[in-house]
Amino acid sequence: MAKVENKTDWFDRIAWGVVIPIVLLALISLYSIWVASVNDPRSGSPVKSVLMQAIWYVISIVIVVVVMQFDAEQLFRLAPIVYGIGIVLLIAVLFLYNRQVFADTGAKSWFKLGPLTFQPSEVMKPAFILMLARVVQTHNAKFGHTIKSDWVLIGKIFLWLLPVAVLLKAQNDFGTMLVFIAIVGGVILVSGISWKIIVPIYAVVFVIGATAILLVVTPGGQAFLGHFFRAYQFQRINSWLSPSQDTSSGAYQLWQSMKAIGSGQLFGQGFGKVSVYVPVRSTDMIFSVIGESFGFVGCCTLILIYFYLIFQMVKITFETKNAFYSYISTGIIMMILFHVFENIGMGIDLLPLTGIPLPFVSSGGSALIGNMIGIGLILSMKWHHKDYIFSTAGDF
């Protein structure tokens, strides 16, 4: 990869097609958190909630600007370091976890930093994506693609996933584990691995998932799966399959979310107007605010913003014409897509409930920083790709 003189103006090097959707999502986030906090007495002060989210956005923007300064070579070298730091944080949180969060949720996933909490698995996601991209890039440049080498590459990918999976299992954070699996699934699709391998693997994963869901609805199946999952996870599956069966306890949050979204009808109740109480609305159920305030039209508009953001990410990936960048962008796209699909899906009973926030909209600093690091990596592609002539996929 040869360095060339860059004469492009800095303004043209910024991926405005990515920046503009993020700005729109930030405004939607501040509005939604305000409305959710005003209508939930347990959320605390609405002003404080919105101000904290704004502060997290400012911090995230600074992080994005810093991440943008790293080019492909530097990111390639940094990948093992940030992955190692992420693993250390995932280990540390098992001992220094927030006791109050653990008592409420049973998860050892959060640090407590004074009045703030921080979830290290969120920043581990972009770190893992960088490491995965390096592994695939290095393997393909050295071995190329044969059935044997493709199986070796799959083994390497899952070897790097294994420590993360074990630590997330120890934290009792199955929802986040699903995000990492989605990232791996996306990177495998673009890694060049033969479809003769990919199709059977994905078929097996689908069969295992479908079988697990079927086992949940049978007493004997639950007894077997009880060795791997907890009672509340079975309850979430049951609530998903039969949301109207128990609307007073297990399915209460889901039922209230669907009522709120349904009450918005086509155009919503209006700016700032909501009438249905939804627990934990500013985080997991933030989509219900959009549905109730702006109806079906507002929900579709939000989804279109995400679609445009993803489209711009894909466009930048093709423009850079660099394999290493393509693996990074695929991981980031899968991370964001899975969050969007899962969060919106669980709010309308399309998918089971998990603690997955809506990217760039739900309140919380950890998830926002993790996602904004991903945006910083995408912006880095646009910022640096004219600085270099990429001679080969493996040329660093």
CA distance 124 to 164: 9
Burial of 186 (0-12, 13-18, 19+ CB in 10 A): buried
pLDDT, the chain, mean: 87
Decide which of 1 and 233 is more confident. 233
Taking the C-alpha atoms of residue 203 and residue 208, their distance in angstroms, rounded to an integer, is 9
Max intra-chain CA distance, the chain = 67
**Stretch 331-340: mean pLDDT, rounded?**
96
pLDDT in the model for residue 5: 45
The whole-angstrom distance between residue 343's C-alpha and the CA centroid of its chain comes to 10
Q: How far is the C-alpha of 216 from the C-alpha of 237, rounded, in Å?
A: 7
Q: Does pTM top 0.95 for this prediction?
A: no
pLDDT at 368: 96
Q: Is the pLDDT of residue 395 over 80?
A: no
pLDDT (tens digit, 9 = 90+) per residue, 97-152?
A: 888 878 777 788 888 877 778 899 999 999 999 999 999 999 999 988 899 999 99
Residue range 17-41: mean pLDDT, rounded: 93
Confidence category of residue 274, pLDDT binned at 50, 70, 90:
confident
- Distance from C-alpha of 204 to C-alpha of 233, rounded to nearest angstrom: 22
Cβ(193)–Cβ(145) below 8 Å: yes
**pLDDT of 248:** 67
pLDDT at position 230, please? Answer: 65
Average pLDDT over residues 381-396: 58
- Residue 391's pLDDT is 39
d(CA 137, CA 204): 26
CB 309 within 8 A of CB 22: yes
What DSSP state is assigned to residue 97?
Answer: B
DSSP 8-class letter at 110: -
- Give the pLDDT score at 12: 81
Q: Residue 310 pLDDT more than 60?
A: yes
Residue 220: predicted pLDDT? 65
Question: Tens digit of pLDDT for each residue in 31-79?
Answer: 999 999 888 777 678 899 999 999 999 999 999 999 999 999 999 999 9
Q: What pLDDT was estimated at residue 353?
A: 82
Q: Give me 67's structure tokens.
A: 């991440």
CA dist 5 to 335, 385, 388, Å?
34, 12, 8
Please say if the pLDDT value at position 389 is more than 60: no
Percent of the chain with pLDDT over 90: 60
Do 37 and 47 contact (CB within 8 A), yes or no? no
Which pLDDT score, from 0 to 100, does residue 178 have?
92
So what's the pLDDT on residue 50? 94
Give residue-wise pLDDT tens across range 35-44.
998 887 776 7
**Residue 311: band (very low, low, confident or very high) from pLDDT cuts 50, 70, 90:** very high
Do you know the residue count of the chain?
396
pLDDT at 246 over 80: no
Share of residues in the chain with pLDDT > 70 (%): 87
Q: Which residue has the higher pLDDT, 7 or 217?
A: 217
What is the predicted pLDDT for the residue at 153?
96
H or E stretch covering 174: helix 174-190
- Tell me the HSE value of 260 on the side-chain side, using a 13 A CA sphere: 30
Residue type at position 118: F
pLDDT at 4: 45
Say what the pLDDT of residue 1 is: 46
